[in-house]
Amino acid sequence: MKTSAHYRFSLYSLLLGFLTLAAYAYAPAGEFLWDDEMIVGMLTNPHIDPLKQVFNPATLEVRNYFRPIANLSFVADFHIWGLNPLGFHLSNILYHLCVVLALFWVLGRHFSLTGAFWSAALFAVHPLHAETVTPVFSRCGIFEAILLPGLWLFSGKKETTWPRWTFHVLVSLVLFVLALLSKESAVVFPAILTLYFLLFQLTLDTGARRQKIATLAAFWVLALVFVVLRFSWIPVGDSQVLSLIADQPLQVRLWTFFESFLKYLGLVIFPVHLHMERHFVSEWTSPGALIGLAMMLVIFISAWRYRRTNPHFLFGFCWLLIWLSPMSNIVIPLPMTMAERWMYLPSIGLFWILADRIDWLHETSRRRRSLAVALSGLLAILMARTFARTLDWKDGATLYSRDLEKSPNSFLLHNNLGVIETREGRHERAHAHFNRAVEIRPTYGTAVNNLGAMEERFGNVDKAADHYAKAIQVSGYHVAYANLAKILLRRGDWQTARRLLEEGYSRHPQDREIYDLLTAIRTSSSP
């Protein structure tokens, strides 16, 4: 019997690998897009050693994040593949496959292999995760799932010897540290373990309970230490957050989260109209927020009511809420109201519930073959939708134009599409996109700078200089320092250019162009 179970486990694992690779078969053909270009800039900057800058939060010019594990993986890919995007994308897919297999492993401890397989398979190919797996820069969200083996180690039900327990705790804590260094939202993992203990392990014998409580204490202490160190080193608010939701008071952000919750559930059930940028703020009379709040309460009350007979429902739903909490915009405002990639780990809670329901149907239904056919059909539909979404990521023009149709007020999409139009020589259209981005978000320094670059190309140097100065004023955008300095140098104002570049270098020591211009001025014999 045990041999048969091992055979099925191996077969299911191979099937999961095939399904994952098939769903993302086109992804390696995509270009470097969106924030991928910052990664390329870090890897190709001759003035910095990428390996030495792995632990520098300013390396990618995103100062509110500290994710050295992802940076280290980018450096590793660069040494293996050079700047071939195929290798970077392939790495993402393989990392995602590791998460899928780890999820299957964890679910297999709590449910039948049948339920665990179908749930892991649907997670593997769900279109909502295309935004995490396809772009290179979203890799940190995949790495955060390194915590799944830690949950598997914690879920043991028997007391172990102290040397074995110590080894398990150390391994789990190391995984926790790696997850924290991949993405800061991993700090909520002790809450997940505590919930698991309360729902599944309170009835263990005294020795096992003591070991679990000691493990929880270690996780909470480590989480507290991380929070103190992380926010002492890189304070919240160290860089400007540009989003509609970030401008709102706490009570509005909380109210908006209820509508976000409803939309997240909708995207899991009906993954249509997928796109990157989601900016909105809920009015107090918004039906979406009202329905979201009502649904959240109904689901939670129902799950709580049946927690003794079926704790998996409550655990899965609370998993969803706990993992969503760092991305809720309630405590810390984020660059957008919602993002599909933010559901990568939270959605596991829903697939946990799904595994439980599949087991129940498999045990109670007389038509198991019909159930398998229905699940196979659903799997095929989701795979096709995921494959179609990866086609959007083949190049910038395709992605940004299609997503802009669904999110016309996204200043980021307008700016990104303007960059593509500039590269392809359509400068009037680029100017229109940059201008629209600035209209939507006047403090978005990148678009202000790009608008200045268009004005300079059209011969309007004074307008260009004004835009560059504004970009520096509103956001300290690093490219604007070099652009404005070059205008000043052409005008012969070397002293002002030098002061400007020295200010820019103090804020952006990694910037190659600022460094080169400042070095040229310092070594020049000109006045």
Residue boundaries of the structural domains of the chain: 2-392, 396-523
- DSSP 8-state secondary structure symbol assigned to residue 27: G
102 within 8 A of 124, measured Cβ to Cβ: no
Both tokens of 245, joined, read 């939701």
Beta carbons within 8 Å of 413's beta carbon, 6+ residues apart = 276, 277, 400, 403, 404, 407
pTM of the full structure: 0.91
Both tokens of 99, joined, read 């998460």
- Read off φ and ψ for residue 338, nearest 5 degrees: -140, 155
Quick one: CA dihedral 147, 137, 129, 324, positive or negative? Answer: positive
- Count of Cβ atoms closer than 10 Å to residue 215 Cβ: 21
Return the pLDDT at 54: 60
112 within 8 A of 62, measured Cβ to Cβ: no
Return the pLDDT at 58: 52
Structural element, H or E, at residue 466: helix 461-475
How many whole angstroms separate alpha carbon 172 and alpha carbon 156?
13
**Low-confidence residues of the chain: pLDDT under 70:** 1-3, 47-64, 159, 234-240, 525-527
In the chain, the amino acid numbered 438 is: V
How many whole angstroms separate alpha carbon 454 and alpha carbon 62?
25
Both tokens of 56, joined, read 């520098």
Name the nearest CA neighbour of 20 among 382, 296, 499. 382
How many whole angstroms separate alpha carbon 483 and alpha carbon 468?
7
Return the pLDDT at 53: 62
Return the pLDDT at 1: 43
Beta carbons within 8 Å of 63's beta carbon, 6+ residues apart = 57, 234, 238, 239
Both tokens of 240, joined, read 């400007």
Residue 405 burial (10 A CB sphere; 0-12, 13-18, 19+) = exposed
Quick one: CA dihedral 12, 145, 393, 67, positive or negative? Answer: negative
Return the pLDDT at 236: 58
> So what CATH class is 396-523?
mainly alpha
317 within 8 A of 353, measured Cβ to Cβ: yes
In DSSP terms, which residues pair with 494 in a beta bridge?
none
- Measured at the CA of 305, the angle between CA 300 and CA 311, to 5 degrees, comes to 80
Quick one: CA dihedral 82, 83, 89, 95, positive or negative? Answer: positive
In DSSP terms, which residues pair with 374 in a beta bridge?
none
